Amino acid sequence: MDFELNEEQQMVARMVRDYVTKEVAPTIKEWDRKQEMDPQVLPRMAELGILGVSLPVRYGGQGMDYMSLGLVCEELEAGDTSLRVVISVHMGLCCYAILQWGSEEQKLKYLPPLAMGEKIGGYCLTEPDAGSDPAALVSTARRDGDDYIINGEKMWISLATKADYMIWIARTDPEAKKRSGGMSAFILETDSPGVTSGDIHGKLGVRAGSTGWVNCQDVRVPAANLLGEEGEGFKIAMSCLDNGRYTVAAGATGLIRASLEASVRYAKERHTFGVPIAHHQLIQQKLAWMARDYEAARLLYLKAGWRKNQGLRNTRETGLAKWYATDASFKAASEAVQVHGGYGFSDEYEVERFLRNARGAVIYEGSSEIQQILQAGYALGYREDRPLRKELPPYDPDEWTREE
Ligand SMILES: Cc1cc2nc3c(=O)[nH]c(=O)nc-3n(C[C@H](O)[C@H](O)[C@H](O)COP(=O)(O)OP(=O)(O)OC[C@H]3O[C@@H](n4cnc5c(N)ncnc54)[C@H](O)[C@@H]3O)c2cc1C
């Protein structure tokens, strides 16, 4: 078993860490307070190649592997969760949906502008009354000649007001017998007439990011934008989560690391009872738990990334990594606030932002309750992963770096 990261993987992680340290850290508090996304974030991430990092070169990407994507997410979220969320929805949920399920025409049309950051991707599954139970969704897509007509509302959508292309899951056969049947996936261009969106304000965390709603009223989408086959929407939506959850797991791992680093710094500076608080065993215990959780979370996501590289199904491993890392990051951030005492309770220090940001990931992309249900299902033998009609392509360095 080889635990070494290769030169390329180390290089991309260093590059993103450098970007975060120099360009994100100095101003993130300000954007978080304003509850707005820094307008420089998307163009700068595009310029650095981050928005296409782990996509084949012939589709405009940087040709790096899936483990590199995880490392990028770890570094981004060590800066701020809002940056990692961009990658989760743009790459994990949108680009990979097209890479896995798209026709060659769809890949050639949509992936290069996304990979180069000229366009931004999003993912619309959740509705006002359908989150953990997406089979309850009610938005519809009705065939009309060469088009589908989409109607419905999506809620809690990351980059709702920023994305140019959205993967939209709708019901195409309202009569389907199976609850999860009769759904289809579409590539929606958000400048189509009838699409409206807005941001949600007053969020607990990810305040420097965009989260909102998207509405479709009689929106015409060409039949050529059907992703996969009619009726495959639920499977596509779930397969997307294998990739989105991977990025969430890796990002949450970065948040554990950031909580640990901030706590170590503060514990050495702050004195009580005549010694640095780092000398108190109860403080050391918190640091030890964070160190343990960081290593375990990192191993879990890298294992999932390695399986993606090999083209091996990773629904179980990715879910486990996501559940573990998000629970652990919330705990780490909470303990980091505790280490900082009263000062941790204000935004003078970054740990209160870590705590607020960590909360959402325990809910989105499958809450920790849903992850437990899935893991119990595997353990009991009630659940198994059957092959999909189209799998996420494995990482093949020659194939991914060839120009044509
Ligand atoms: C910041 C943020 C960004 C998001 N971005 C996106 C996005 O880009 N695209 C998108 O499609 N969605 C997005 N979501 C939506 C997110 O995926 C849903 O909020 C999540 O799936 C939970 O759904 P819900 O909010 O409807 O909660 P509900 O499904 O109503 O669940 C409420 C509670 O009940 C629990 N619960 C539900 N069913 C069970 C059960 N069977 N057993 C035990 N407990 C259960 C849940 O775990 C939860 O604690 C985002 C959400 C947030 C907060």
For 55-78, the pLDDT digits (tens) are 999 999 999 999 999 999 999 999
Across the range 147-171, mean pLDDT stands at: 98
Domain boundary among 120, 143, 163: 120
How much is the pTM? Answer: 0.98
Look up residue 136 and give its DSSP letter: G
Which residue's alpha carbon is at the smallest distance from atom 27 of ligand 1? 131
- Each residue's pLDDT tens digit, 265-314: 999 999 999 999 999 999 999 999 999 999 999 999 999 999 999 999 99
pLDDT at residue number 355: 98
Cα dist from 295 to 247, 325, 394, whole Å? 16, 10, 25
pLDDT above 90: percentage of residues in the chain = 99
Residue 300 lies in a domain: yes
- Each residue's pLDDT tens digit, 30-51: 999 999 999 999 999 999 999 9
Domain count along the chain: 3
Residues 376 and 248 in one domain: yes
Of 158, 367, 370, which is best to mutate to test ligand 1, by the most ligand atoms within 8 angstroms of its C-beta? 367
Residues 210 and 330 in one domain: no
The CATH number of residue 38's host domain is 1.10.540.10
Domain boundary among 71, 87, 120: 120
User: Of the candidates 295, 292, 296, which has an alpha carbon nearest to the alpha carbon of residue 284?
Assistant: 292
Domain boundary among 232, 264, 281: 232
Residues 23 and 108 in one domain: yes
pLDDT at residue number 342: 98
Ligand 1: which residues within 6 Å by Cβ?
89, 123-126, 131-133, 156-158, 206, 211, 360, 363-365, 367, 369-370
Choice among 317, 365, 391, 403 that is catalytic? 365
- Residue-averaged pLDDT of the chain: 97
pLDDT at residue number 34: 96
User: Of the candidates 41, 40, 99, which has an alpha carbon nearest to the alpha carbon of residue 66?
Assistant: 99
**Residue 49 contacts residue 62 (beta carbons within 8 Å):** yes
Say whether pLDDT at 1 is over 90: no
Across the range 108-120, mean pLDDT stands at: 98
* Residue 404 pLDDT grade (very low, low, confident, very high; cuts 50, 70, 90): confident
Pick the atom of ligand 1 nearest to 89's CA.
Answer: 8
Which residue's alpha carbon is at the smallest distance from atom 29 of ligand 1? 132
Residue 1 lies in a domain: no
Residue 2 lies in a domain: no
Question: Does the annotation count 8 as an active-site position?
Answer: no
Say whether pLDDT at 232 is over 90: yes
Pick the atom of ligand 1 nearest to 369's CA.
Answer: 47
Look up residue 394 and give its DSSP letter: P
> Could you tell me the residue range of the domain that residue 180 belongs to?
122-232
Which residue's alpha carbon is at the smallest distance from atom 41 of ligand 1? 370
Residues 369 and 255 in one domain: yes
Centre of ligand 1 from the C-alpha of residue 132, in Å: 5
For the beta carbon of residue 369, count every other beta carbon within 10 angstroms: 12
